[in-house]
Amino acid sequence: MNILFAASEAVPYAASGGLADVVGSLPKAISAKGHNCAVVMPLYKAIDSELRGEMEFIANLTVDVSWRKQYCGIYMTEKNNVTYFFIDNEYYYNRDGLYGFYDDCERFVFFGRAVLEMLKFIDFKPDIISCNDWQTALIPVYFHVYYRYLQGYDKLKITMTIHNIEYQGRYGREVLNELMGIPAYNSGILEYDGYINMLKGAIETADGIITVSPSYAMEILDPWYACGLDRILADKRYKLKGILNGIDTDLYDPEKDPYIAWHFSENDISGKAKCKSELLNELGFSDGEEPLLGIVTRFVRHKGIDLIRCAFEEIINCGFKIVVLGSGEKIYEDFFIEMSRRYPDRVSVTTGFVPELAHRIYASADMFLMPSQSEPCGLAQMIAMRYGTAPIVRETGGLRDTVRDNGGLNGNGFSFKTFNADDMLDAIRRAKRDYNDRKKWAALVKRAMKCDNSWAASADVYIESFCGLLN
């Protein structure tokens, strides 16, 4: 089976979040099981020059963007037994940053059409195109409108993976003719609630819809989670499936991680305490018996930062030291910075994203706080468990699917149900109580580290889903 993953970012070439990790890991895992995988993404300015030097020019072609004719170059390279294709257009992609531009709609209209046109010029004939998030949502739409009856395309199947339903590619109706070039008689595919909604178009036209955890697949049928798309998803639920994401266990490996001071494993966790001492010293904290609570996140509302703000003083009073890494909305950044100034011996805050520090926090913290309002899958809680750090999470999306509460003494972390600061604080206090029982805590750490959150199992489910579409 030949599978082409279309995405706006992928590790190690360009990344802004968890999507890049998934697209950088899943094709490699499927390829290891005997299938041919490729990835296609834009050729951004941000891609490292050394990685650019490994690319080979394949072809150039012209892509229709409504009434425009735009240049498109195709580059190729191979890494980890996966072929990578890159869509080149300097007008659209030779910029600082990946997203957030006034013409993002046009940039990814071009990308969607270019992916389908590219198939005529490359020596890779996919059976499946796996599209990821709204930036690729026009691929199944264009296929449905223009390509499905063309020779060479007629057996192709397309899936749409929703990594976060909040981001839908919603624009005014003027883009339909001005940018997309979709005929008026097909406009109903994309129209929704008075807007043009690219993700809605993909839900209509894709052969399969995938979300990144089983719980999230059920949640997005609920108006509270669906961000307006619950009606169309309920209508198309027969092709909706939730498949849990995994993590790259080579990248996050406490036995080999180059960013941590000491290596350790589930059979010998002594190095974890040494990592903690090292990080406390780095942060200017005194070494002691207090638990270290880690937070690595984007500072945005749906990550549950408001709950942390409400309960922060109580968490400090429980006897925690806290290390925070992240960036996002200024109101949240200012809050954490103020807390670090108020409690300089107990709170450390680093704004921005520093991968090396993130690894050290995962390896050194005793607990990892993730009280998300919504979380399609979440990778951080799985990474934390890989390093023997007990996650404290709200039961939503992939957090519910991966974290078992330790209330019955057989869990791998701690959880709470309602989006409420008091309930979160209760879970934190229960974690502190178990932490004080060294024997109980050592058993919890070992259970967390034994959890298999690799891509191997999820890759099998993806393969089964893709094969089901072809049969």
For the stretch 274-294, pLDDT in tens is 999 999 999 999 888 899 999
Q: In terms of DSSP H, where are the helices of 266-372?
A: 270-283, 305-317, 330-342, 355-364
Q: In terms of DSSP H, where are the helices of 70-186?
A: 90-93, 104-118, 138-142, 175
Report pTM.
0.90
- The pair of three-digit structure tokens given for residue 253, joined into one six-digit string: 């490996």
Q: Which residues have a Cβ under 8 Å from the Cβ of 461 and sit 6 or more positions away?
A: 243, 244
pLDDT at site 48: 93
Structural contact between residues 139 and 109, judged by C-beta atoms closer than 8 angstroms: no
- The pair of three-digit structure tokens given for residue 142, joined into one six-digit string: 């264009």
Amino acid, single-letter form, for residue 320 = F
Q: What is the pLDDT along the chain (471 residues), one digit of tens a residue?
A: 999 999 999 999 998 878 998 999 999 999 999 999 999 999 999 999 999 999 999 999 999 999 989 999 999 999 999 999 999 999 999 999 999 999 999 999 999 999 999 999 999 999 999 999 999 999 999 999 999 999 989 899 999 999 999 999 999 999 999 999 999 999 999 999 999 999 999 999 999 999 999 999 999 999 999 999 999 999 999 999 999 999 989 889 999 999 999 999 999 999 999 999 999 999 999 888 899 999 999 899 999 999 999 999 999 999 999 999 999 999 999 999 999 999 999 999 999 888 899 999 999 999 999 999 999 999 999 999 999 999 999 999 999 999 999 987 789 999 999 999 999 999 999 999 999 999 999 999 999 999 999 998 899 999 999 999 997
Q: Which residues have a Cβ under 8 Å from the Cβ of 302 and sit 6 or more positions away?
A: 166, 372, 373, 374, 375
